[in-house]
Amino acid sequence: MRHSILIIDDEKSICTFLALALEDEFDVYTANSREEACRILKERKIHLALLDLLLGESNGLDLLQEIKAKYPETAVIMMTAYGDINTSVEAIKRGAFHYLCKPVNLEELLCYTRQALEFQNLSRQVEDLSHALVELEQRTYYGDIIGKSAPMQRVYQMIDRVKDLDTSIVITGESGTGKELVARAIHRNGVRSSENFVAMNCAAIPENLLEEEFFGHVKGSFTGAVADKKGKLELANHGTIFLDEVGDMPLSLQGKLLRALQEKETMPIGGSQYRKIDVRVISATNRNLLSMVNEGTFRQDLYYRLHVVEIHMPPLRERKQDIPDLCRSVITRIAGDMNRNIRGLTPEAERLLMKYHYPGNVRELINILEYACILCSGEYIDELDLPDELRQETSPNSDVTEMTAFTAAEAVRKYLSGMSIKDVEKLLIENALAENPQSKRTAAKSLGISERSLFYKIQEYEI
């Protein structure tokens, strides 16, 4: 690309002379006044301005300042027949790249012109990289995916790299990590976004119906086929097909799918003609497909057809930094669906959620928060609104003290003798308070519950 240069000088002969010297290498424009220069700068992309210090009654330094304010990507070299140190320093302060004295030496002019353009080019690259870095650091979501942790930033980078490609992609990760969300983000942000996204769970459809789901059928091909039906591959034509739990696909169907993808054509059951298809395939699995290939339960040729690029979704326990953002988003959605005014979590509830290990990943977190929203009676979800198993697992005092063990044994005997659970719980609390009359915090710790929970229990049982 040729760079464009604007020569601004009130002497037409100077403009003509410099234009002739530069036009072989650059696109050159000339202006003999401030007004004409401003018009050209507004209408065209100017990479460098050669600006005279005196423009009739105008001051070149003022125009320099205006150019740097309105067109910061335009480099400026000042020219004057009345050079002095103070003027040079002032020009540099106002953003000029360099300062040349008339009569201008053409070799010197070309040298500084090339340096100025190269400097501007490098400055733009640095700025672009800085913006990209800031955007990367601040990105907290991608489509419906939420998370700003380092593992999620790597996922976002991979989505950006593959979204416009036709390459087959496998998304790996534990169950509940959000693999389908990644697939949808790739489709919605890529060049195929205007076409269909067709999701298919290979584990949820019975084996005898799976072939029909993939390829469709023609009318009369079997009993009950009262009309033609398009298969998922044809419905996804020009778009994306998402094969969830692809590792559960039966071997008998893997060969037929492989042929359809290789030949880019499909034939419905009972049909006689192939139909051309153009689909991008995204697969997801929580199984090790390569191990399945070695075991003979997954075709090697299909593995290499599907497994061109892998995107791994990290488990929630490896990105706990994202839990607060996930909670805010999920609570807002659930509270809206329930028409409830639930604004968030108490610090105690958030602490418990951060400590839990989430074997079910994000899907389990959503279920926990839905449960908590149902139980929540105020504006904030408290630890008592969370499921019992979560509170027990994250208890700060899982090893009971000797006193608690003794009273617990006594409580069990009383329960077996016919006392109700509530009466047993009340007795345990009374014993703990009697042992620690000066500190409810110590009493709560001995019981394995928080001080806040103990306070609620005291109110409930009117102790």
pLDDT of residue 408: 53
Lowest mean pLDDT among 34-38, 89-93, 274-278, 373-377: 89-93
Residues in the chain: 463
What's residue 187's pLDDT?
97
Question: How would you classify the pairing of strands 75-80 and 98-101?
Answer: parallel
> And the tokens for 413?
């005997």
* Torsion sign (Cα): 109, 115, 116, 117: positive
For 62-128, strand residue ranges (E) read 75-80, 98-101
Per-residue model confidence (pLDDT) at position 453: 73
pLDDT tier at 391 (50, 70, 90 boundaries)?
A: confident
Which tens digit of pLDDT belongs to each residue from 306-326?
999 999 999 999 999 999 999
pLDDT tier at 94, thresholds 50, 70, 90? confident
pLDDT at 405 over 60: no
Contact by Cβ (8 Å): 332, 341: no
Residue 76, beta-bridge partner list: 49
- pLDDT given at position 275: 92
- pLDDT tens by residue, 137-184: 557 889 899 998 889 989 999 999 999 999 999 999 999 999 999 999
Mean pLDDT of the chain: 87
- Alpha-carbon gap, residue 36 to 14, rounded angstroms: 16
Q: What is the dihedral of CA 143, 145, 151, 154, to 10 degrees?
A: -20
Neighbours of 328 (CB within 10 A): 14
R_g over Cα of the chain? 36
Greater model confidence, 427 or 34 = 34
* Paired strand residues for 216: 230
Q: What is the pLDDT of residues 193-221, one digit of tens each?
A: 999 999 999 988 888 889 999 999 999 88
What is the average per-residue pLDDT within 67-83?
86
Predicted local confidence at residue 55, as pLDDT: 83
Task: Take residue 199 and report the two structure tokens written for it.
Answer: 């999701």
Higher-pLDDT residue of 28 and 429 is: 28
The pLDDT value recorded for residue 403 is 40
Helix 421-435 to helix 402-416 angle, to the nearest 10 degrees? 150
The confidence score (pLDDT) of residue 443 equals: 79
Q: What is the pLDDT of residue 398?
A: 39
Residues 239-254 have a mean pLDDT of 94
Please compute the mean of the pLDDT values over residues 273-291 and round it to a whole number. 94
Helix, strand, coil % in the chain, rounded to nearest 5: 55, 15, 30
User: If we measure between CA atoms, which residue out of 373, 307, 375 comes closest to residue 342?
Assistant: 373
Residue 103 has pLDDT above 80, yes or no: yes
Contact yes or no for 54/10 (Cβ under 8 A): yes
Domains and CATH numbers, the chain: 4-129 (3.40.50.2300), 145-314 (3.40.50.300), 317-393 (1.10.8.60), 402-461 (no CATH)
Q: Are 429 and 458 in contact (CB under 8 A)?
A: yes
Q: Long-range pairs for 58-67 at CB < 8 Å and ≥24 separation?
A: 58/33, 58/34, 60/8, 61/87, 61/90, 61/91, 61/94, 63/8, 63/34, 63/37, 64/91, 64/94, 64/95, 64/96, 65/94, 65/95, 66/38, 67/41, 67/95
